[in-house]
Amino acid sequence: MKKSSELVRLQKFISEAGVASRRKAEELIAAGLVTVNGETVREMGIKINPAIDVVEVDGSMVDCSTVEKVYVVLNKPKAVMTTADDPEGRETVMDFCKEISQRIYPVGRLDYHSEGLLILTNDGDLAYKITHPKFEIEKVYEVKVFGIVSDELLRKIKSGIISQGEKLKPKSVRIIKKLENKTWLEFRLIEGKNREIRRICENLGLTIDKLKRVAIEGLSIGKISLGRFQTFTKRKMLDLLNMNEDGSRRKSDKTFVSAKRTVKAVKDKDRERKFEKGVSADDEKFVKYRKENYKDTIQKHKEYAENEKIKEELQKKIEREEALKEHRRRSKAKAERKEKRKQNMNSMPRKNSKKKK
């Protein structure tokens, strides 16, 4: 009889072998692509003994003992898919890690329009501990929104919202920089639900211009250039994540500390008295810059620019024609004056140069 301590869940075993993430492993099981000892398994939660049972995924045997664990931190650029493969042929994060020979997978979500720190690894167990809310791994984001964030609007962001039946509430939010008509915010999240920051901002009428993840616990993007990556050992990764092997938090706190100071929010009463200039971040005028409207907005700006160029060229043409008309008018007037003087000269009686004797 197998001891329970020897058993491990099938999807966990597959993810730890670097075949796929735990979520993807569940999809492979449901699709009937996984066999245990020659028998197809579709049931979730089944446990196996890695020392005895033979597991195959899509006809290939899985062996955890031969897999070298790899830990990569990528500074993901914007307009790149966080996936191992994209059916539409768009650029993915894997295109930036071609030097890594092992099969690795992105940990967690960082959507197409976002950039910044992304962990990729074939260590499914660690990936699970980073992404599952029960381990309370803190993730830090810097978000630039259109408009001015007032103290009242900041309080609303901190209080969170209800979206699609679930509570979305950041651990903390603060203003780190104010521009003429944009504001930089720092969000800290624990749960990291799907599109959490974007959903909060959209619900409160804010339009995001830029979103980047700068840290996960004490692991920061640091000096890694956009589109570049850096490899870490598991020991170093756990140390920066402030995590023990079992996923529990260490006593030493190595949470990311930003060098950017907190900036005071604009008070609503000051805005009413017009002491503070700028448009509020929840103003509807910024909706046109959201990603779902962005293409139309850019097209309208392009059409506007083209129309303005046509108008400018037309105006220049009119000015040239007017200048030519004015030149012709002056030339004609000059010629007429010259002709008139000539006529006057001819009509005058000539004086004899010699006197009659």
Which of these is catalytic: 111, 151, 239, 283? 111
Structure tokens at 243: 């995590």
Q: What would you report as the CA-atom Rg of the chain, rounded to the nearest whole angstrom?
A: 35
In the prediction, which pLDDT does 14 show? 87
Rounded Cα–Cα distance for residues 62 and 45 (Å): 18
In the prediction, which pLDDT does 202 show? 93
In the prediction, which pLDDT does 292 show? 67
In the prediction, which pLDDT does 288 show? 79
Does 268 qualify as catalytic in the annotation?
A: no
Rounded Cα–Cα distance for residues 9 and 44 (Å): 9
Q: Specify the CATH class of 138-216+264-286 in words.
A: alpha beta
Structure tokens at 122: 């074939």
Give the CA distances from residue 329 to residues 316, 322, 341, in Å, rounded to whole numbers and listed in that order.
Answer: 20, 10, 18
Phi, psi for 44 (deg, rounded to 5) = -80, 145
Q: Where would I find the beta strands (DSSP E) of 11-65?
A: 34-36, 39-40, 47-48, 55-57, 60-61
CATH of domain 4-66: 3.10.290.10
Q: Do domains 68-136+223-258 and 138-216+264-286 have the same CATH topology?
A: yes
DSSP-based three-state secondary structure for 209: strand
| Averages of pLDDT over each 10 residues, the chain, 357 residues | 63 82 86 93 89 88 79 96 88 94 88 95 88 90 95 95 92 95 95 89 94 96 95 94 86 82 81 62 83 65 77 87 89 86 78 54
186 touches 170 (CB < 8 A):
no
Tell me the pairing of strands 115-121 and 208-216.
Answer: parallel
User: To 5 degrees, how large is the angle CA 275–CA 279–CA 284?
Assistant: 150
Domain positions in the chain: 4-66, 68-136+223-258, 138-216+264-286, 290-332
CATH of 68-136+223-258, one of 3.40.630.40, 3.30.70.580, 2.40.50.100, 3.40.50.1370: 3.30.70.580
In the prediction, which pLDDT does 268 show? 67
